[in-house]
Amino acid sequence: MDARVDYRAEIVPNNTLDPLSAEEVRTAVRVVREQGSIGAGARFVSVNLVEPDRRTANNNGFGAHRCALVIVLDVAARRVVEAVVSLPEERLSSLIERKGVQPGIIPEEFVLCEKAAKADPRWRAALERRGVTDFDNAIIDAWSAGAYGDDRFPTRRLARGLTWIRGSEADVGYGRPVEGVVTYVDLESMEVVEVIEDVKVPVPPLTGHYTAETVGPLRRDLKPLEIIQPEGPSFTVDGYLVRWQRWQFRVGFTSREGLVLHELGYEDRGRLRPILRRASLSEMQVPYGDPTLTHNKKNAFDVGEYGIGRMANSLTLGCDCLGTIHYFDAHVALMNGEAATIKNAICMHEEDYGTLWKHTDWRTEHSEVRRSRRLVISFFATVGNYDYGFFWYLYQTGEIQIEVKLTGCLSVGAFPPGEQPTHGALVAPQLYAPIHQHYFSFRLDLEVDGRGNSLYEVDTVADPLGPSNPYSASYRAQLTPLRTEAEAVRDSNAATGRCWLVVNPSRRNAVGQPPGYKIMPGADVVRPFAHPGASVLQRAAFIQHTLWASAYDPAERYVTGDYINQNPDPDGVDKWIKKGRSLENADIVLWYTVGAHHIPRPEDWPVMPVSYAGFMLKPSGFFEQNPAMDLPPPRAKTCCH
């Protein structure tokens, strides 16, 4: 396989964990239409695989029974329906109505929302009062309405429309916001229910246009950099099953979460040792700190309120991915029920990662060095103004790294000339970006070396003063068992080098200890600034702590529950842990919170350079020794070994 895009035929699913094919999406929609008594004009929110319960199912079988979960917004009947379709039988297995919930906003509703707002005379009048009459070049982004207790239309399906004025049809920038105008649109009837105004601030003068044709002279001194693998990559792909450098896993995808990794394990001495049964992004939450009307309800849940998978990009060779690439397509349902394929939604390739291990014997001057290589599995999604990349790295040493790459355009506001904002920073003349944060919750369904795991908190502590500490400088690692869900609500602590250790107490390694994996926090530790009782903490309790742990339950899929949109008190991890389930020798699910704190700066405009946030899973007693000792020396002729 070479570095060109491989436009192969669609993969035919043959495993219970393979994501749905386009044909399966079409089948599921057709069955629901024919057998589900769905009204005309119903909107299909999502169609995804029903994954088998890992406690009872054998997921290794081929041709096993496959089902799809179809979530439908039956607009005519004003109801939300969950339907399960047996795909091989083309039969409706179940259909239930979910009362009192709102599914996430569908991407097609963004377009309809903008159209409805721009046609409303109240919106036009609000812009005219600010000296804006160029309605054709206005754009309106549909933000989720949230749930704040002061909602005037609590039973409606709402979006908050925020307006920008572009310089022309070719303008793709976010540089000219209309401050002080918020347009509430009923997404079912597509009518404007309210236009709220406060301040009248001039529209900033610059567009924020950022294309290569508009930024000025481009650099001319950048030479080509090519990644070449003349013998092809070191991985093999069989459908959605991937093998690379003793790693084995299955690639999955859902329209809500995006990329999912299933059955991830490492082959050690002829045995495939499991580590993760399932791993994915569970939720995102982006709280803004600006109290003004336009920005104070910006608290988006980009997974549960929109569906990050549905907004995945089609990746481009040489731009998004470099080298010898294998792509996986994703198949989703459009709002009208048609199946759509996101071409090249998932990118997989190898990267050189510098020195893996090295030592030079100073007596003999003999040097041994091995280079590190990692496998990258990633996807990018665009959520309105922001772009997020989600990268999973597998290393030859058995390490697993999760990294989020944050880029795209800041969500900005207009500011009066000559003044300075208190809750943000000026990034261009009369243009400011509010202070905000990004939180990402990752769901890690663990199975370290087999079922039945236990969890420990690991801190490094100083020994007490006394004879056993003769120079007052000794210290050690201290392990604290976290035996219940309530005990396992934890925060990172850089002062003690805190990490967490998941072990299999039923096994022993070469030194008589249980094999395990450590969860190592990243460098950016973020805390929310909302006060207790704030709606954002009610809805996004997970952002208050770095780590949560729960006993496995197939119904507990998302850290903020199944339905977060406009939900003031969702059924999430903060509720589940009150069950008090044991985490000792149990099926453990970790919910790990990654945070990024963003005080904007002019260098983030008009498109923000990538910012990084993440964490790592690191083997700890899982292997007898460095598992990469058997790597061959580099082939380079100039390399000494």
Which pLDDT tens digit goes with each residue over 272-320? 999 999 999 999 999 999 999 999 999 999 999 999 999 999 998 888 8
* Cβ neighbours, 10 Å, residue 574: 19
Distance CA 182, CA 189 (A): 18
Q: Are 67 and 48 in contact (CB under 8 A)?
A: no
Which segments in the chain show pLDDT lower than 70? 1-9, 55-64, 636-641
Instruction: Provide the pairing of β-strand 588-598 with 67-74.
Output: unpaired
User: What is the assigned CATH class of domain 22-97?
Assistant: alpha beta
Write down the architecture of domain 236-620 according to CATH. Answer: Distorted Sandwich (2.70)
* Cβ neighbours, 10 Å, residue 152: 10
pTM for this predicted structure: 0.95
Which of these is catalytic: 240, 386, 393, 592? 386
In this prediction, residue 352 carries a pLDDT of 95
Which of these is catalytic: 74, 141, 290, 302? 302
Contacts 24+ apart (CB under 8 A), 241-247: 241/15, 242/348, 242/377, 244/350, 244/375, 244/394, 245/373, 245/375, 245/394, 245/396, 246/396, 246/627, 247/375, 247/394
- Which residue is it, tokens 């890690």? 444
User: Does domain 107-197 match CATH 3.10.450.40?
Assistant: yes
Domain 22-97 matches domain 107-197 at the CATH topology level: yes
- The secondary element (H helix, E strand) that includes residue 612 is strand 608-620
Q: Which two tokens stand for residue 170?
A: 């070719």
Q: Are 210 and 175 in contact (CB under 8 A)?
A: no
In this prediction, residue 4 carries a pLDDT of 39
Distance CA 364, CA 573 (A): 58
- CA terminus-to-terminus distance, the chain: 31
Q: Is position 395 annotated as part of the catalytic site?
A: no
Domain residue limits, the chain = 22-97, 107-197, 236-620
Return left, alpha or beta for 131; rule: phi > 0 is left, psi -120 to 50 is alpha, else beta. left
**DSSP letters of 351-362?**
EEEEEEEEEE-T
Kindly report, residue by residue over 19-36, the tens digit of the pLDDT: 999 999 999 999 999 999
Distance CA 207, CA 217 (A): 18
In this prediction, residue 523 carries a pLDDT of 78
Helices (H) and strands (E) in the chain, counts: 5, 30
Biggest CA–CA distance in the chain, Å, is: 84
In this prediction, residue 62 carries a pLDDT of 43
Q: Is position 288 annotated as part of the catalytic site?
A: no
Distance CA 203, CA 132 (A): 8
Q: Which residues contact 414 (CB under 8 A, 6 or more apart)?
A: 176, 177, 178, 179, 201, 202, 203, 204, 430, 431, 432
